[in-house]
Amino acid sequence: TIRVEMKGRIALFTLDNPPVNQLSDHFVREMAQALEEAFRDGAVDAVVLTGSGKSFIAGADITQIKEIRDREKILGLLRENNRFLKGIETGPKAVVAAINGSCLGGGLELAMACHYRVAAAGVELGQPEVQIGLIPGAGGTQRLPRLIGLPNAIDMITAGKPIAAEKALQRTLVDEVVEPARLVDAAVAAAGRFASGQLNLKVRTTRLRHDRLPSAAEKKALLDFTLLMTAEKAKGYLAPYKAIEAFSRGLGYDVDADLEIEAGLFADCLLSDVARNLIGIFLNTRAAGRLPRIEGLKPAPIRKVAMLGGGVMGSGIVHLLLAGGFEAVLWDINPAAVEKGVSAIRATFDYHLKNRKMTPEA
């Protein structure tokens, strides 16, 4: 899954784990082995990581963990991941991320453990774990605030929406944004600046950064406000609260202790019914169009559509269905609502008749 090419004294690793370079056990093991060899090789001054296809790394393979119900097993896997990322972050040579495509979840956590990040224009970066009931589990809650500040990190992690490379540059999540054709060259040039001493490895190590972190009083005020706002829009969900707790209990000087707190909170999420249901919806939605039993079958034409609810939206949808040539059924638990809905549909067609946009026959 790792293709290695030398660019002078810089080792270029192309990550190739189809279809979207998801982090999986074998992929991480091969990456760790390749990095270890590069760190030992006297002919290698620095390493550049880039992805194949349209992805840098589009998150972790959720199917490998979704059925785990043993808390200690979850924590063991997370600790192993954290050791891998710490090995990059505190390694003897610079590692530069050349972000060619989607950089999400574990992919962004890997990029943040690198010492420099170059992104292709237009690519997306994000921590979307909250959308499947989880929080980042490989340092996202601890590294992201160090790079972009706590307010922006709260926004990205509790909402789970990715941002474009250009915004990532404004927020200092990435160091350069270049056209895709120039990506590898720009990353190799950055790696060369580490080798020549123009860039300092320790200064660029994310876990050692504290300049963007708020004071204790500022952190408490910001998180108290965030908790208040979250309570209004995240009822029934667990992950946003666990993310806020990770910020609250972490972001100290002992990063390894903070990562252990994050791992425990991730396990709380993964073992919850909320995450199990959201992960199920995510995987089933993704698989719905790829079921083996429907291969080669043509969908049957839709002739009849039922609309449940005769309110303004329901009657409007029925109008569009009828105008589109479908047979439509309007249903509501209240007969008066059905009558009102049908009247609204007739009035809409009457309006078209008056404006001569339809004929009475139509």
Catalytic positions, written as ranges: 109, 129
DSSP H or E run through 262: helix 255-270
Residue 148: exposure state from Cβ atoms within 10 A (0-12, 13-18, ≥19): buried
Q: 106, 125 in Cβ contact below 8 A?
A: no
Task: Tally DSSP H helices, then E strands, for the chain.
Answer: 13, 12
Cα separation, 134 vs 286, in Å, equals 18
Contacts of 341 (CB under 8 A, 6+ apart): 310, 311, 314, 315, 318, 330, 332
Angle, helix 239-249 to helix 140-148, in steps of 10 degrees: 70
Amino acid at 116: Y
Radius of gyration of the chain (CA): 26
In total, the chain counts a number of residues equal to: 362
